[in-house]
Amino acid sequence: MKLPALLSICIILAIFPFGSEVSAEQFFDKGVSAHGAILMEQESGRILFEKESNTRMRIASITKIMTAVLAIESGKMEETVTVSSRAFGTEGSSIYLTEGEKISLEDLVYGLMLRSGNDAAIAIAEHVGGSVEGFVYMMNEKAREIGMEETLFANPHGLDDHEDHYSTAYDMALLTQYAMKSPQYREISASKSYRSVTAEDRIRVFNNKNRLLTQLYKHSTGGKTGYTKRAKRTLVSTAEKEGMELIAVTINAPSDWHDHMNLFEWGFDSYEMSTLVKEGTVKKVDDPFYKNKLRTEFSFQYPLTEEDLKHLKKRVVLLKPNEERWEQEGYPYPIGTVQVELKGKVIGIVPLKYVYEKTEEPSLFKKWLGHWFRVNGMVPNG
């Protein structure tokens, strides 16, 4: 049964207390240096700050986040890649691959993310996609899947060799939110250094170019740098503090390190991750049919300011009981939802499960055995 059919009974469970808030406009009274920027909370996807976040711009090497994602998802990270002449001849930042060299795909992804190797990007594309052109097709298909509606990829590295290669701050935040669901991506993105040893005993050490991670910001958990003459400085970074994970993206930002640190500090100071629905039994339900028999199977958290707490409501929405039918056919799932609203807008829906104890019908043998015990004046298990 589809979820809209559940909208039959609404019970207001809680309205939270209130406080004060410092607005993004007040905090950034002088603005950020970036032409395009966004600050997003990772779990919920809530946008905390944005500036021209949906404007298409050139993105340089933060393109490589998509390249890394596709490499990781290919399941080929342990495979050996033979470097082509095309990869060897790639211009710009490099991990200095040589034609014919054999190196693992995993090592290439570390070189891609930490040292921004354009040669690594081409080698990855050819191995995972069969060709650079085939890989670019995969990149754009993945972008559509994620919901990156204002993005078009033309290469796997972000160099200015095509006019139609662009994205937005918002789309790159969506991509990063998706990428951070992968433990392997998280590990690579958070690595300050990586040592690669090939079959020919060639040793490379990749030191991460992301100064937020290596020097400047103690709450940094990773990210990707970028620069070309046309795109200027681009940067995607992630940070975590007290259980809140944030994503910052800046495009064409002369002072990107400071932009990101300021955005993160404002976000951590202004918002707090609040558990709005807890996993477990829902207690505040008056209907006797449902009382103490509804369970949420996961918690729902959302970043909130003190001002938000004035406008927060939770509602339980339930199906009209049909006990006789449900006893025969099984209880539907979900049997209802907990809906969380902020300023009249639904920000979260948690499904509800009906928990009940079904009495097992005794088998014919057990019935006969019980009858035998009674006839002979004996008590089973007594």
Say if residue 241 is in the same domain as residue 333: no
Say if residue 156 is in the same domain as residue 278: no
Of 246, 270, 294, the domain-final residue: 270
Say if residue 188 is in the same domain as residue 318: no
Question: Reduced to 3 states, what is the DSSP secondary structure of residue 364?
Answer: helix
The rounded distance, in Å, linking the Cα atoms of 123 and 144 is 24
- The two tokens of residue 38 are 């966004």
**Helices then strands, each counted (H, E), the chain:** 12, 17
Say if residue 111 is in the same domain as residue 219: yes
- List active site positions: 61, 64, 116
Nearest of 84, 76, 71, 141 to residue 111 by alpha carbon: 71
Judge whether 368 lies within some domain: no
The rounded distance, in Å, linking the Cα atoms of 194 and 103 is 14
Question: Reduced to 3 states, what is the DSSP secondary structure of residue 255?
Answer: coil
- DSSP one-letter code for 92: S
Neighbours of 96 (CB within 10 A): 13
99: left (phi over 0), alpha (psi -120 to 50) or beta: beta
pLDDT of amino acid 323: 86
Tens of pLDDT, residue by residue over 281-316, are 998 888 889 998 999 999 999 999 999 999 999 999
Question: Reduced to 3 states, what is the DSSP secondary structure of residue 365?
Answer: helix
CATH classification at residue 42: 3.40.710.10
What pTM does this model have? 0.84
**Could you tell me the CA-to-CA distances from 105 to 161, 175, 209, 222, 225 in Å, in that order?**
24, 21, 20, 20, 21
Judge whether 224 lies within some domain: yes
pLDDT of amino acid 47: 97
Judge whether 363 lies within some domain: no
User: What is the number of structural domains in the chain?
Assistant: 2
Say if residue 117 is in the same domain as residue 255: yes
Judge whether 379 lies within some domain: no
Please check whether residue 199 is in contact with residue 80, taking contact to mean a CB–CB distance below 8 angstroms. Answer: yes
pLDDT of amino acid 371: 57
Low-confidence ranges of the chain (pLDDT < 50): 1-22, 29, 359, 379-382
Say if residue 250 is in the same domain as residue 280: no
Neighbours of 32 (CB within 10 A): 21
Distance of CA 30 to the CA centre of its chain: 30
Nearest of 296, 293, 294, 338 to residue 315 by alpha carbon: 338
Say if residue 237 is in the same domain as residue 316: no
Judge whether 41 lies within some domain: yes
Say if residue 115 is in the same domain as residue 13: no
Say if residue 127 is in the same domain as residue 232: yes
367 is in an annotated binding site: no
Of 255, 270, 285, the domain-final residue: 270
Domain that holds residue 237: 31-270
Tens of pLDDT, residue by residue over 180-237, are 999 999 999 999 999 999 888 899 999 999 999 999 999 999 999 999 999 999 999 9
The rounded distance, in Å, linking the Cα atoms of 274 and 272 is 6
The rounded distance, in Å, linking the Cα atoms of 344 and 342 is 5
Name residues whose C-beta falls within 8 Å of residue 257's C-beta, 6 or more positions apart in sequence.
211, 212, 216, 235
Q: Return mean pLDDT, the chain.
A: 89
CA dihedral over 157, 161, 165, 166, signed as positive or negative: positive
Judge whether 360 lies within some domain: no
Judge whether 110 lies within some domain: yes
Judge whether 101 lies within some domain: yes
pLDDT of amino acid 328: 86
Say if residue 261 is in the same domain as residue 117: yes
- The two tokens of residue 164 are 């139609």
Query: 78 burial class (0-12, 13-18, 19+ CB within 10 angstroms)?
Result: exposed
103's enclosing H/E stretch is: strand 102-104
Neighbours of 113 (CB within 10 A): 30
Say if residue 203 is in the same domain as residue 297: no
CATH classification at residue 312: 2.30.140.30
pLDDT of amino acid 17: 28
Say if residue 42 is in the same domain as residue 133: yes
Of 251, 270, 289, the domain-final residue: 270
Nearest of 108, 285, 286, 127 to residue 198 by alpha carbon: 108
The rounded distance, in Å, linking the Cα atoms of 134 and 313 is 48
